[in-house]
């Protein structure tokens, strides 16, 4: 119980910065939405970081990879919510989308990979392999190149929440 309370307290420590709330079909109607949302959100939340320009560039890159993954692995109906929260140097990105069992299985499969050995090696081999990289590459990149802490949770019936905690401030100084 104490642990749960502590968890709730730390969760509430994250201040909400911005939310993009869309119909899932609207989000999935145009690939450019990934670029547009990541660029816009990154600019809006980076102005008070120690280097706003570098921070926005990094956050946009990381967020875009998350959004491109979700774009490929989402249902065309239901809802899409992209929220960015902040606690000190950490920005938390939460993407909540409608999902089917196969989507959840995909994300859980990637999380298992991230907990295993040689994640960096696996990521780099994927990037230079003859075959085009699959949808998991963006999540591997976030874990390896951006040191993101990733998690996926099933919330309610038919929804999943993909969470990425990013401490990019250290990478811009």
Residues of this chain that bind other proteins (CB under 8 A): 31, 34-35, 39, 47, 50-54, 57-58, 60-61, 64-65, 68, 124, 127-128, 130, 132-133, 137-138, 141, 145, 168, 171-172
Contact 138, 123 (CB under 8 A): no
Closest by CA to 61, choosing from 46, 78, 80, is 46
Shortest spacing between CB 150 and other proteins, in angstroms: 16
Shortest spacing between CB 62 and other proteins, in angstroms: 8
Contacts of 5 (CB under 8 A, 6+ apart): none
- 101/113 Cα distance (integer angstroms): 18
Contact 162, 70 (CB under 8 A): yes
Distances from the Cα of 8 to the Cαs of 2, 131, 132, 143, in angstroms?
Answer: 10, 43, 41, 24
């Amino acid at each position: 119980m104490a642990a749960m309370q502590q968890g709730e307290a730390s969760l509430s420590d994250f201040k909400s910065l911005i939310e993009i709330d869309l119909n899932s079909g609207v989000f999935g109607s145009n690939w450019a939405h990934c670029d547009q949302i990541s660029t816009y959100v990154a600019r809006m939340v980076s102005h008070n970081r120690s280097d706003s320009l570098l921070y926005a560039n990094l956050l946009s890159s990381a967020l875009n990879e998350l959004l491109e993954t979700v774009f490929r692995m989402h249902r065309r109906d239901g809802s899409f919510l992209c929220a960015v929260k902040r606690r000190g140097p950490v920005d938390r990105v939460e993407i909540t989308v409608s999902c089917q069992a196969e989507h959840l299985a995909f994300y859980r499969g990637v999380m298992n990979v991230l907990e295993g050995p040689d994640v960096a090696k696996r990521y780099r081999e994927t990037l230079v392999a003859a075959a085009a990289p699959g949808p998991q590459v963006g999540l591997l990149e976030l874990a390896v190149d951006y040191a993101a802490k990733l998690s996926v949770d099933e919330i309610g019936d038919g929804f999943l929440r993909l969470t990425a905690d990013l401490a990019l401030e250290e990478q811009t100084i």
